[in-house]
Amino acid sequence: MQLVAAFRKDLLLSWHTRAQAMAVFAFGATALLLLSFAIGPDARALRQNAAGFLWIALLFASVLSLADSFKLESEQRALEGLLLLPADPRALFYGKALSNWLQLFLLGTALVPVMVVLYDAATPRALALFLVLGLGTAAVSAPGTLYAAMTSQARAAQVLLPLLLLPLVVPVLLAAVKATQLLLLGDPMDQLVPWTLLLVAFNAVFWSLSGLLFGAVVEE
């Protein structure tokens, strides 16, 4: 299956560049640490802002990871070769996007213990937290992969990507922060399900539209 082959190829590339993934994690952890300095030693304020700071650090670290997702293909002109194959461009996109999503989800999972230590923001609903992480990172991964392909040939790709991506995913960030905050601080009014469903809706829109547009983007 073309999608599975593309996904496996990108996972192998990610494994060979795992040192870069460690650098992205270090950036995210450092961002969490620096953001905690803005609050100070107030434990209550730290817990209240933990969800927002987690997603801000994760989003900025994600931009670094996504910016390099087409780096090898661009440097070695491998993307043009892949497009010459009798393969559906959508399969190439979904393979790359799934690989990017897995990396972002693992990055978010690794940042959660850092958040717990720095912000004292543990939650008994760990599985629900990982579900929100998965949905939020997926909603970033799909348009992030599309925009990374669009900017991969540009000289200022690492500048253009956040300029294009960040305004688009602001609603995703708001929903993810609210859902995470409800898990960390409590949900007396049962608002978690609507916010989670909103993340599901964002994923449905972004993954379908990005897959449709990818072929036109890379063939230009």
pTM of the complete model: 0.86
Average pLDDT, the chain: 83
**Burial class for 193, CB neighbours closer than 10 Å (0-12, 13-18, 19+):** exposed
Nearest residue to 199 (alpha-carbon basis) of 166, 175, 178 = 175
Tokens representing 26 are: 């270090």
Name the more confident of 36 and 8. 36
Mean local confidence (pLDDT), 102-129: 89
Q: Residue 186 pLDDT > 80, yes or no?
A: yes
Q: Residue 204 pLDDT > 70, yes or no?
A: yes
Lowest-pLDDT choice from 1-5, 28-32, 149-153, 187-191: 1-5
Compute the distance between CA of residue 169 and CA of residue 1 in angstroms, rounded to an integer.
31
Give whole-number Cα distances, 56 to 86, 91, 159, 182, in Å.
Answer: 40, 30, 17, 17
Name residues whose C-beta falls within 8 Å of residue 50's C-beta, 6 or more positions apart in sequence.
115, 119, 121, 184
Name the more confident of 165 and 38. 165
Task: Quote the percentage of the chain above a pLDDT of 90.
Answer: 40
